[in-house]
Amino acid sequence: MRYKQLKGDVIQCETSYKRVFPFISMITWSTIQSMRNVARAEARRSGKSRLSLYLDMIKSRHRFGATTTDYLEFGFSMQDDSLKSEYITSHMLTALKPAVNGKESPLEDKWVAYQRLRAFYKRDCVSLTESSEEEIQDFLGRHPVFFAKDVTGRCGHQVVYIEQERQEPGVANHLRDSGLTMLEEAIVQHPDVARFSVHSVNTLRIVTFANDSGDLVFLPPVMRVSSDTSRTDNHYGLFLLLLDDDGIVRSDGYFQPYPGTKYGYDLLVPEHPLTGFSPKGSRVPYFKEALDQIRKMAELVPELKMIGWDIAMTPEGPDLVEFNDDPGIDLHQNYYFADIYGKPHAGIRRLAEHVFGVVFQPDLSIRQAKVDATSSDVL
């Protein structure tokens, strides 16, 4: 994917869906399979026929750049086009990121990011390329259980969970040769968070927008909980807990991107499929402390205006897992947030335009614009 600068400060993402027949070029076999699953789930939720949902998904993909995940998460089957236009879809996000954060950032490297915000990590970390041999061996000697990561990995890819009864000779060289150069001590979760799911670390996902003055806006918070047995990431098999501004779970658990046949096609389920825990009404510990920590961290990365923060809750308080300069924001526009926050919709398009001083164009590109600073008509 490439980005190019056009006349008039318009930033446009060059992708196949901008061709002559975008609604056709965007449809792949994988998309068709996703549409089938989404149609089944949305038919149950909206009461509409699957055929009408297929046609609406194609139209939403062509007009708004909505993926099948967007369509499901935003509840597009139950909203008209005027409300659909209030959301930032995945394809719109590809234009927003370079407009506000630039095309690339050195902070995409996990070790570089760790060095910048080291004070907010409550666990030991070492680099197999930057740390001294003494530091590496000391880490391995003190931590029989740890994670090894590729510093450029995303979404749980290139992450290995390692548990060894004794320090194996040559393990550092093997990991280094495999490109897994950052070692992290395993996180111990707060018991009130571990009960959601014990297999992987359950993380509080917060996305912040910052204007040129550094004022922060927090998007609706989400707790990302694993619904499978993976130890390395909760990006897949995701069970979402939708929180209010006080860190209280205000809905049943939500499956994302869509439920599979293993658990049926219900989107909201009252109990975790593996633990049986009912999350609704639970309070996330250290929630306010996590927000305060994010405010402090954001001041140390002023070059990034849009950041996704992943925070683990330990018995001692919030622990920064990582932060992303290219965060997905679909989670924070979940259809059910409209009820939680008493809004007609959960879209954040106008909020982003207001904070960043940009305007989305009909072709999903972005141009810079002066926005009325007194406007309060945002989420």
Query: pLDDT tens, 281-336?
Result: 999 999 999 999 999 999 999 999 999 999 999 999 999 999 999 999 999 999 99
The per-residue pLDDT for 229 is 57
Mean pLDDT value across residues 351-374:
83
Whole-number Å distance between alpha carbons of 162 and 176? 14
pTM: 0.86
- What pLDDT, on a 0 to 100 scale, did the predictor assign at position 3? 33
> Which H or E element spans position 4?
strand 2-6
d(CA 347, CA 157): 29
* Peptide bond before residue 169 is cis, with ω within 30 degrees of 0: no
E strand or H helix that includes residue 292:
helix 287-299
Rounded Cα gap, residues 70 and 60, in angstroms: 10
- Two structure tokens written together for 114: 């760790």
Phi, psi of 138 (to 5 degrees): -65, -40
- Give, as one character, the DSSP assignment of residue 243: B
Q: Quick one: how far is CA 342 from the chain centroid?
A: 23
CB within 8 Å of 219: residues ≥ 6 apart: 206, 207, 208, 209, 329, 332, 348
Outline which parts of the chain fall under CATH 3.30.1490. Answer: 124-185
Q: List where CATH 3.30.470 sits in the chain.
A: 106-110+189-324
- What confidence tier does 237 reach under pLDDT thresholds 50, 70, 90? low
Specify whether the backbone of 330 is left (phi greater than 0), alpha (psi in -120 to 50) or beta. Answer: alpha
Determine the topology of domain 124-185 in CATH.
Dna Ligase; domain 1 (3.30.1490)
More confident position, 215 or 269: 215
Helix axes 90-101, 349-356, angle to 10 degrees: 10
How confident is residue 371, by pLDDT bands cut at 50, 70 and 90? very low
CATH (one of 3.30.470, 1.10.3470, 3.40.50, 3.30.1490) for 106-110+189-324: 3.30.470
The H-assigned helical ranges of 65-170 are 68-73, 81-84, 90-101, 110-116, 133-142
pLDDT for 205: 96
Express each pLDDT in 71-94 by its tens digit: 999 999 999 999 999 999 999 999
Q: Is the pLDDT of residue 95 over 80?
A: yes
* Residue 70 confidence (pLDDT): 94
Average pLDDT, stretch 109-131? 96
With tokens 């309070």, the residue in question is 283
pLDDT at 266 over 90: no
